[in-house]
Amino acid sequence: MKFTKENTTIGFIGTGVMGKSMASHLISAGYQVLVFNRTKAKAEELIEKGAIWQDTVAELAAQSNVIITLVGYPKDVEEVYLGKGGIIGNAKSGSYIVDMTTSAPGLAKEIYAKALAKGMSSLDAPVSGGDIGAREARLTIMVGGDVDVFEALVPIFNIMGTNVILQGKAGAGQHTKMCNQIAIATTMIGVCEAIAYAKAAGLDPETVLKSIESGAAGSYSLTNLAPRMLANNYAPGFYVKHFIKDMTIALDSAQTMGLLTPGLELAKSLYDKLAEQGEENSGTQALIKLYLQKI
């Protein structure tokens, strides 16, 4: 199927830090967008922009032919898709459903199979790029599912992201996101330790950052999150609690495959400690607080 602005109604579930921007881009592109969020207040800006509020997941699913979800945890994904009043039980046959939450690969495969049995097409398509990438419509979108379904939805993905890649069958998008989160986990440790070292050595961390961010140490975290650390800006582009969720999924998946992931285990232990100190709703850059306690 070729989705056009005339024949497409997009249902968007989950209008938080990233989802709000992503849905906004779809509205700006001229699509009719229906929205649902557990907290309606978080959808008010989108409603003012032209989104149509739906009171339940079931209502949204029944009236949309493309349904996108970006919720919190695997348990939320399971409820939204498979629970009573969920998408699988209420969407029309022929609907295309896309979970952009970072969730468990096994759950993505289950949703794919149950959607297929109901005549629906399903993709798992988690994203990377944080609040900045969502705002600027340059997210990386990692997709798992069938080629024809992916190709049909690429024009919609391209409105929200700039690096859209099909990684394989159902679950492959989620596995790829785990690779992404594993790489970020240990990178964040390195960024925090570098800043702490600079401070302990009596250097100006901002000046140090100018030297190292464009060299071999360069990374998204160093360029985008280190300045927030130095400015004591811990507002969430991505929540600590959600990063812990992602690392838990990655650890479980790695253990199932028999892989050693000591760096990931260390990162999770540090973020667990940070959450215990009340920082679960801070951005991931708040990890620097653990290090600065020692200086």
Contact 67, 61 (CB under 8 A): yes
Which pLDDT score is estimated for 293? 87
pLDDT of residue 68: 98
pLDDT at 1 > cutoff 80 = no
Report the interhelical angle of 172-200 vs 262-274 (nearest 10°).
70
The average confidence (pLDDT) of the chain is 96
Question: Which token pair is 233?
Answer: 């800006």
CA 57 to CA 171: how far, in whole Å?
Answer: 23
Instruction: For residue 295, name the pLDDT band (cuts at 50, 70, 90).
Output: low
How many Cβ atoms are within 10 Å of 69's Cβ, its own excluded? 24
- The pLDDT of residue 200 is above 90: yes
Residues 6+ apart with CB under 8 A from 184: 220, 221
Domains and their CATH numbers in the chain: 9-170 (3.40.50.720), 175-292 (1.10.1040.10)
Instruction: Indicate the DSSP class of residue 74.
Output: H
Mean pLDDT of 68-88: 97
Question: If you average pLDDT over residues 266-275, what whole number do you get?
Answer: 98
Task: List the end-to-end C-alpha distance of the chain, in Å, as a whole number.
Answer: 59
What is the value of pTM for the model shown? 0.93
Residues written for the chain: 295
Residue 110 neighbours by CB distance under 10 Å: 17
**What's residue 249's pLDDT?**
96
Residue 130 binned pLDDT confidence (cut-offs 50, 70, 90) = confident
| pLDDT mean over 144-152 | 98
State the catalytic residue, choosing from 5, 84, 109, 177: 177
Taking only the tens place, the pLDDT of each residue in 152-190 is 999 999 999 999 999 999 999 999 999 999 999 999 999
Rounded to whole angstroms, the Cα distance separating 173 from 53 reads 29
177 among known catalytic residues: yes
Residue 132 has pLDDT above 80, yes or no: yes
Other beta carbons less than 10 A from residue 286's beta carbon: 26
Q: How open is the CA angle 249-13-89, to the nearest 5 degrees?
A: 85
Q: What is the pLDDT of residue 17?
A: 87
Looking at this protein, which amino acid is placed at residue 104? A
CA distances 129 to 15, 153, 160, 164, Å, are 16, 20, 11, 12
Assigned token pair, 239? 């929540």
Give the mean model confidence (pLDDT) for residues 11-30.
96
For 192, residues 6+ apart whose C-beta sits below 8 A from its C-beta are: 229, 287, 288, 290, 291
Count other Cβ atoms within 10 Å, centred on residue 233.
Answer: 14
- Using CA atoms, how far residue 42 sits from 36, 39, 119, in Å, is 10, 6, 32
The residue-averaged pLDDT of 105-115 equals 98
At 257 the three-state DSSP class reads coil
Instruction: Give the pLDDT band of residue 121 (cuts 50, 70, 90).
Output: very high
pLDDT for position 223 = 94
Predicted local distance difference test score (pLDDT) of residue 50: 97
Partners of residue 165 on adjacent β-strands = 142
**Which residues, including other chains, have CB under 8 Å from residue 158's CB and lie 6 or more apart?**
164
